[in-house]
Amino acid sequence: MTRRERQELIDKGLLLPLMEEFYTIQGEGFHKGTAAYFVRIGGCDVGCHWCDVKESWLAELHPPTATEKIVDNAVKYSNTIIVTGGEPLTWDMGPLTAQLKAKGVQTHIETSGAYKLTGEWDWICLSPKKMKLPTKEVYEKAHELKCIIYNNDDFKFAEEQAEKVNGDCILYLQPEWSKRDKVIPKIVDYVMDHPKWKVSLQTHKYLNIP
């Protein structure tokens, strides 16, 4: 396959830069505690300074992998498939989710929402970032809004984001892991004062699982 042919397949979403895939327990948000198969797609230029998967940023570090292969691996383990990154919406998610839905599984995505929404999703977890805000469509279709709290300014940002999502979207505040001891008491107080929000924790890190 020539470089041009490979790039055409990548552009069509038929090849995706696969960083890793694994079967584990969803640790965050509404579906925490659920067994799920994670597919981590490389490539992200949003650039969160506290990102805990910075090795996902450069797509060229991760092998272009056929969506058929990704799907075949995933459905062996679970009927809940979570696509994360990196920023998966950097790529066309249509072919991947079409093949997953043909297998009868649930498709979830974790995204900053910064790019066009592609793919067919049963659950959209939107975690917006200040550097590149979500698109209008992602705000409208998100099932949960997960705002990461690193410092006090993030509460204001979270409220700004909450005003943009649909009325059925579940609202979560989640401590940035390295600052958890400092910000968890603030989040608890904030949620008690603003009960439209819920607390989300990275329970998989407490459980010491991927």
Feature table: binding site for S-adenosyl-L-methionine? 50-52, 86, 127-129
Residue ranges at the known binding site: 25-27, 40, 44, 48, 50-52, 84, 86, 127-129, 210
| CB-CB neighbours of 129 under 10 Å | 19
Measured CA to CA, the distance from residue 90 to residue 195 in angstroms comes to: 34
| DSSP track, 126-144 | E--BTTBPPPHHHHHH-SE
Q: Which class for 51: exposed (0-12), middle (13-18), buried (19 or more C-beta within 10 A)?
A: middle
Annotated binding site for [4Fe-4S] cluster: 44, 48, 51
Contact 100, 71 (CB under 8 A): yes
